[in-house]
Chain A
Amino acid sequence: MDELFAPPTYEWQRLSPRYVTLRQLSALLFWPLVLTIPAVLIGLVWNLWWVAGLIWLAAVLIALDRAWFGRKSWRSWGYAERDDHLYITHGAWFRHLTAVPYGRMQLVEVESGPLERAFGLATVTLKTASPDTDARIPGLSASDATQLRDRITELGESRSSGL
């Protein structure tokens, strides 16, 4: 994190540390599961079990890499609530900084999938009139998420401006 993508004056607020575990777990589950299908197919159809084994090895390596990357990714996320804007940053390699004026918010969503729920996490998404606005904060603890939603909805109401 360098100052180029830093918010003005304040420190970033971080996501819940459980988000790292969530990311690592989902990476470890996802890659082996997905790559098992072609591996088994290749093994059964062409009887090339050594290729299947290689694919499996690759799957495990990718999963481990992703799992390792999970911490780095977690560290890249951050958000900051300022007077007029919500700042969100993410991406370790492909870095993004999004600033959304509270007055431009059309709605705020809180979502939580089954895996996220198991970890007590939720995702907050801000929508504006522009489909390009990419303002999503994943991995917030459920209580943080609802509190954040309530705060920014209130700010949005007081600052809302016509299109």
Chain B
Amino acid sequence: MSEPRVTQPPPAPAPAPPVRPGVKQAERPHPLTPFIRGWLVLVAIVLGFARQFLENGSSGGGINTSDLRWIVPFGVAVVLAAAAAGFLSWYFTRFVIDDDELRIETGVVVKRSRRVPFERLQSVDIVQPFAARFFGLAELRLEAGAGGSGIKLRYLSRVDASRLRDYLLTRAHGHSARIADVADSALPSRFTDLGQGDRTLVRVSPQRLIGSFLLTNNWLVTAGFALLIFVITAAFQVAVALPGLIPVVISAVSMIGSRVIAMFNFTVAESGRGVRITRGLTNLASQSVPVNRVQGVRITQPLLWRPFGWYRVDVDILGYTSSDEGRDRDDATTVLLPVGAAADVSHLLDRVLPGIDLDTLELRRAPRRAAVLSWFDFWTLRSGYDARVVVTEQGWLTHARYVVPHAKAQSVRMYQGPLQRRLGLADVHIDTPRGPVKAVARLLEARAARELAMSQLGRARAARSTAEGRAALSPDDASEADLLDHFGIGADTLIGTGGEAKVYALDAERVLRVYHSNHQSTVEVVGQLQGLYRAWADQQMAVPLILQNGTWAGRVYTVNRRLPGENFADWLAGADPTERPAALMSYLDAAGAVQQLPAPIPGFARLVGSGAPARFDSLVSLLTAQLQPQLEVSRVALQADIPQVARVWEELVRALHARQCRPAVVHGDFCPANIYLARSDDGRLRISGVGDFSPHTLVADPWMDLAGAVIFLELEPYPEAVADSRWLEQQALSRWGRDLARWIAVYRRFYGFYFSSAYRFDPALYQWCIRQLTPLGG
């Protein structure tokens, strides 16, 4: 990178117009919207007349060509009216989706403004009707809780729709994000709506889709009925039965529409923000199922699928009504997999209900005497539970298995009719929100039923309270809980929370780091750190070692070797004052030791982060490049709060220009929270390791960490921290020379600018930054 801004201070004299909250630019949907809606009406009219024409044509009479005189103008009028209505509704629809809110205003006569809290969003879908697809437009559908409070935004350009979708899903998962962060995500493929980061889990081939459809019970019954009518007609030479064919044909066509055309190219992919389903031959629908909001799962198998080992999977999601045979073919469906082999099913269930093994779950059969009441399927009635889910099964024409996680169950009901009472049997219902899942453990032994119902209440309560505990811990509740479950540890093993990740203790040797964000860049950072740690593994100073990394439940995690000792910041908080000087001296030694780590590339460089390793030709160009993104955020605030900020900046740049040094590894965030302390065998306190290398890590001025060690100490909350920081500075000066004093002052300004973006999330730290940013003088 060149140095275009080195002499030009970023807090430019002419500030950008500050964004005033309250006066927001509301957007309208794409201007082509009215045309597409008019077009849809036209298609509907043509189809309607065509159907009328065909049906009446066979029985004579009805519409004939002379009627076209009035049909055509009438059709044109209707289309124009629809287009005008479409235009009005487009003109009066405005939406705001930004960093703070999601608000939609609609209505020509009655104005309606809806503001949806991001956390309430249950799902965000993209639907592309055929006509909209031609123009590269898409409809964005938002579900916010039960009760059909769906919001439709139509139509947006595909780029906007997928960008907003990504943003909203990030917010819906409780991650903080800014809309600008997702702005430049790559456009997903036109046919599958899958982005580059998405990993396909299951794809249904057309052969299997059609083959399985032909073997469903519903299709066979419909086709058989149609065949029967034909046979009767042919055999008895009567056409009486033919009118009866019309509803049969219509139902067959709609069945093909909803089961084949709408499910064509069905692809389930793992995206960073849940499971993404895309499907459709003519209309392309893309649904993002937030995994933690799945209320239950249904796995079905029609009789004739059994030889092929095929299954279908549906899920209950709040707000999705069961459109199993839905007329609205492009509506969101509850189908997670229209057809798949057992391996596909378990693959998906791993994702939707992680850590649950349905095969080892023990199911109890209904007793033999259940045959009296349910002679046609008593042998298929089974039910059981484990620590996390309750499972029921029934049916042989279509075998269905229902799985409800305890944490999601609503109420529990027990039922016993007079006959059941006589036989000593009872049913237990596990209620779930509206949807395909209807978990009923039928015809259990009365005692067993009572036992199941009562113990189910206890299990549901326990599951809810752990889920709540986790939700209170972190907004990324379920995904993190899933990840912890995956590793078999509880939230109580948390040992630290940092700027990038939360750290949990796995055992005495290993820790689990769960990164806050799941952006692609995080994966990149993890990879770079893995390389660095490996290169430094045999150095004298202990650094972390990444043993394993991956993504689970949409969260990036690493398993690291646990650094020996105790966190230095925790130790300082309760330390014996007489022991502090020795420990602090060792802390200073460690800051000096970091520079001894071998730099992976020569010269000044950024080692971690997007595009790293990136080389710079001078210290000043590297450090100003480091400051650029922070200042983008804080420039306006700094200009408002520090009158002479331009002067401070110029002095900093001039000083860094003049700095002569040999490039060395710089931790970049050398503060007690990232350092570990242990007592050696002879009873002396020693710094045992340095953790949390991060995108702050550079190859730069070796004195940056010495300065950081001194400067950041004063931010520690214990009472004597400021005094200790002064004392440590004197110790550092006596070891590295008086010259260091000036550079500690220079790096105070540097770190003041570097952490100034904290004004968005940490006012105390921002106030500290302002205090650092005084003119250097002399």
Contacts and interface: CB of A to CB of B under 8 A. Distances in A.
Nearest to A93: B418
A85 B429 contact: no
Nearest to B463: A161
Contacts of A163: 145, 293, 295, 318, 408, 433
Interface string B407-444: 01011111111100100001001011110001000000
A130 B467 contact: no
Contact of A97 (B146, B414, B471, B477): B414
A161 B450 CA distance: 25
Interface stretch (B64-72, B158-166, B453-461, B672-680): B453-461
Nearest to A159: B464
A104 interface: yes
A162 B468 contact: yes
Given A99-B411, A162-B471, A131 B434 contact: yes
Contacts of B431: 128, 130, 132-133
Nearest to A129: B433
Contacts of B421: 95
B416 A4 contact: yes
B205 to A, nearest CB: 35
Interface string B458-480: 00110011011001000001000
B454 A129 contact: no
Nearest to B416: A95
A96 interface: yes
A100 interface: yes
B407 to A, nearest CB: 8
Interface string A121-160: 0000000111111110000000000000000000000000
Contact of A95 (B415, B433, B453, B460): B415
B415 A130 contact: no
B446 interface: yes
Closest 7 CB pairs of A and B: A130-B431, A130-B410, A97-B414, A133-B411, A128-B410, A132-B431, A100-B411
B413 A96 contact: yes
Nearest to B456: A99
A101 B465 CA distance: 12
Contacts, number: 90
Interface string B286-318: 000000010100000000000000000000001
A4 B415 contact: no
B412 A162 contact: no
B295 to A, nearest CB: 7
B616 to A, nearest CB: 47
Contacts of A133: 410-411, 413, 431
Contacts of A162: 467-468, 471, 477
B527 to A, nearest CB: 34
27 contacts: A4-B446, A84-B461, A93-B418, A94-B416, A94-B417, A97-B413, A99-B411, A99-B412, A99-B413, A100-B410, A101-B410, A129-B146, A129-B318, A130-B431, A130-B433, A130-B434, A131-B433, A131-B434, A132-B429, A132-B438, A133-B410, A133-B411, A161-B468, A162-B467, A162-B471, A163-B293, A163-B295
Contacts of B413: 96-99, 132-134
Contacts of A130: 410-411, 431-434
Interface string A80-124: 000011000000011111111101100000000000000000000
A101 B457 CA distance: 8
Nearest to B413: A98
B710 to A, nearest CB: 45
Contacts of A131: 433-434
A97 B453 contact: yes
B457 A99 contact: yes
Given A130-B432, A163-B318, A96 B464 contact: no
Contacts of B432: 130, 132
Interface in A55-81: none
A99 B471 CA distance: 25
A128 B417 contact: no
A96 B420 CA distance: 12
A132 B295 CA distance: 14
Nearest to A95: B416
B411 A104 contact: yes
- Residue among A4, A95, A129, A135 with most chain B CB within 10 A: A129
B411 A4 contact: no
Contacts of B416: 4-5, 94-95
Nearest to A3: B450
B411 A98 contact: yes
Contacts of B438: 132
Contact of A101 (B418, B461, B477): B461
A159 to B, nearest CB: 8
Interface string A1-36: 000110010000000000000000000000000000
A99 to B, nearest CB: 5
Contact of A4 (B318, B426, B461, B467): B426
B453 A99 contact: yes
A94 B415 contact: yes
Contact of A85 (B145, B414, B415, B457): B457
Contacts of B410: 100-101, 104, 128-130, 132-133
A163 B468 CA distance: 10
A161 B431 CA distance: 16
Interface in B398-414: 408, 410-414
Contacts of A4: 416, 426, 446-447, 450
A8 B458 CA distance: 12
Contacts of A161: 464-465, 467-468
- Residue among A93, A95, A163 with most chain B CB within 10 A: A163
Given A8-B454, A98-B411, A101-B410, 6 more contacts: A4-B426, A4-B447, A101-B460, A133-B413, A135-B411, A162-B471
Contacts of A94: 415-418
Contact of B414 (A5, A84, A128, A135): A5
A81 to B, nearest CB: 14
B315 to A, nearest CB: 14
Contacts of B477: 162
B151 to A, nearest CB: 18
Nearest to A126: B411
Contacts of B295: 163
Contacts of A95: 415-417, 421
B133 to A, nearest CB: 34
A101 B464 contact: yes
Contacts of A100: 410-411
B174 to A, nearest CB: 11
A85 B412 CA distance: 10
A84 B456 CA distance: 13
B434 A101 contact: no
Contacts of A135: 411
A162 B426 CA distance: 31
Nearest to A134: B413
B10 to A, nearest CB: 43
Contacts of A99: 411-413, 453, 457
A14 to B, nearest CB: 20
Interface in B636-692: none
A25 B416 CA distance: 28
Nearest to B440: A132
B554 to A, nearest CB: 18
Nearest to A86: B411
A88 B410 CA distance: 15
A163 B319 CA distance: 12
Interface in B706-756: none
A162 B290 CA distance: 14
Contacts of B318: 129, 163
A2 to B, nearest CB: 9
Nearest to B454: A8
Contacts of A5: 414, 416
Contacts of A132: 410-411, 413, 429, 431-432, 438
A93 B419 CA distance: 9
Nearest to A99: B412
